[in-house]
Amino acid sequence: MGRTKPEVADIFCEYGEAYRHKFGTSTNSQQWRTMHAIKVCRTAELGGHIDQCDHCGHEVISYNSCRNRHCPKCQSLAKAEWLEARTAELLPVDYFHVVFTIPEVLNQLTLQNKREVYNILFKAVSKSLLTIAADSKHLGANIGFMAILHTWGQTLLLHPHLHCVIPAGGLSQDERAWINCRKRFFLPVRVLSRLYRRFFIELLMKAFNQDRLKFYGKISHLSNPESFAQLIKKCFNSEWVVYAKPPFGGAEKVLDYLGRYTHRIAISNNRLLRVKDGKVSFSWRNYRQENKVQTMTLQAEEFIRRFLLHVLPSGFMRIRYFGFLSNRHRTEKLKRCRKLLQVHQTAVKSTIVDWKERYESLTGKPVDLCPFCHKGHLIPIQNLLPLRFPLTRPPPQTGINDNYINAI
């Protein structure tokens, strides 16, 4: 493959055709576009430029990035800019981390209705947190939080869940006081779990009654109201896991967490170990064995199938804000919070326009340092036009492949 370290793009290039033959009819257009974008990222097909060191004259060819949000190589600058914006919004309080999961019995339904089910997940979680926090029996405050959607587990199988990062307290109902949480305790997890389950199922039943859910293949029987009612019954009898992790100790730890979780994709190139003889090996953490790092080996087509499970619908927002951090009221409400907490905002928005300077200011890493002499800086001397190769059209989508759906 031309590298000592494999990348997801290498797997797509070498085994994409084998995947197409096995799972092509069950792959949607968004997944095909994502797959193509990752394959051509930082290659001649997207064009680029030639840089020359102003100290030693060494020349380097740099190809353009695809900027696809699912690409393992295209999130550094976006993450850095997002973190800068969030830094200005942090409050001088502890932060809690609460995770909400969807039971496995809903996996196949979720896979075929990603936009609908993921929206339901956000609505059910936000309504649960805001309702219980506002209850005078618990916190009695209007809270604010961000929710980050992850859809994968360590082995790349479908595992939708929301990570919520929540300041330890909120505004009183009249907004004249800041109400602190009890030390190292946010809200009762059992109460959260049951209310979350109720809200989620109510929203799911509403979507079914309004014909907003689709059913294909072996779950086509769920289009029947009686069969869907049986699924709902299983949901009530399933485990709805909600758990609160230990609170963060301050703003620095919150940012460290956000930097690791917000702009992640299903698997990074760093976790790939070997790609050989039609198989892909990667590292994963076994949480059931004290986070022990183990190696998993999959057929290349199965690896691609699992990766594409996590491609989100076009335009879907996987990071959302609620309560006093909601987009509409954030500036006004944060100003009120700081006043009550007797602190002042010190963060200043960056005025750097050049992306290279901005990247260095955000990450501390100069992108134009010469890799040969490590003294000079790379100066663009020639543009390279993109190659206009015709895209290979994916096969017509004639139905849902049952092997694909049932292999979640």
Give the residue among 121, 157, 38, 113 at the shortest CA–CA distance from 313: 113
Please say whether the beta carbons of 295 and 273 come within 8 A. Answer: yes
Residue 47 counted as domain residue: yes
Residue 354 counted as domain residue: no
Q: What is the pLDDT of residue 163?
A: 92
Angstrom distance (rounded) from CA 395 to CA 326? 42
Tell whether 240 and 337 lie within a shared domain: yes
Tell whether 36 and 128 lie within a shared domain: no
Tell whether 165 and 16 lie within a shared domain: no
Tell whether 136 and 170 lie within a shared domain: yes
Residue 80 counted as domain residue: no
Residue 247 counted as domain residue: yes
pTM for the whole thing? 0.86
Tell whether 96 and 61 lie within a shared domain: no
Number of domains in the chain: 2
Residue 257 phi/psi, 5-degree rounding, is -65, -50
Q: Which residue has the tokens 């992790």?
A: 245
The H or E element spanning position 357 is: helix 355-363
Tell whether 103 and 225 lie within a shared domain: yes
Q: What is the pLDDT of residue 226?
A: 96
Tell whether 132 and 216 lie within a shared domain: yes
Tell whether 158 and 195 lie within a shared domain: yes
Please say whether the beta carbons of 168 and 186 come within 8 A. Answer: yes
Tell whether 379 and 322 lie within a shared domain: no
Please report the DSSP string for 95-117 in residue order: EEEEEEE--GGGHHHHHHSHHHH
Q: What is the CATH number of the domain that holds 234?
A: 3.40.1310
Give the residue among 4, 198, 165 at the shortest CA–CA distance from 99: 165
State the angle between helix axes of 225-237 and 189-209 in degrees (0 to 180), rounded to the nearest 10. 170
Residue 395 counted as domain residue: yes
Tell whether 141 and 236 lie within a shared domain: yes
Residue 131 counted as domain residue: yes
Looking at 321, 341, 361, the residue that finishes a domain is 341
User: Residue 27: which domain range?
Assistant: 8-70+369-406
Structure tokens at 162: 């929301």
Tell whether 138 and 209 lie within a shared domain: yes
Tell whether 55 and 169 lie within a shared domain: no
What type of residue sits at position 98?
Answer: V
Q: What is the pLDDT of residue 388?
A: 64
pLDDT beneath 70: ranges in the chain: 1-3, 249-252, 345-364, 388-408
> Average model confidence (pLDDT) for the chain?
86
Please say whether the beta carbons of 122 and 201 come within 8 A. Answer: no
Angstrom distance (rounded) from CA 187 to CA 193? 11
Q: What is the pLDDT of residue 348?
A: 45
Please say whether the beta carbons of 240 and 103 come within 8 A. Answer: yes
The H or E element spanning position 193 is: helix 189-209
Q: What is the pLDDT of residue 3?
A: 55
What type of residue sits at position 338?
Answer: R
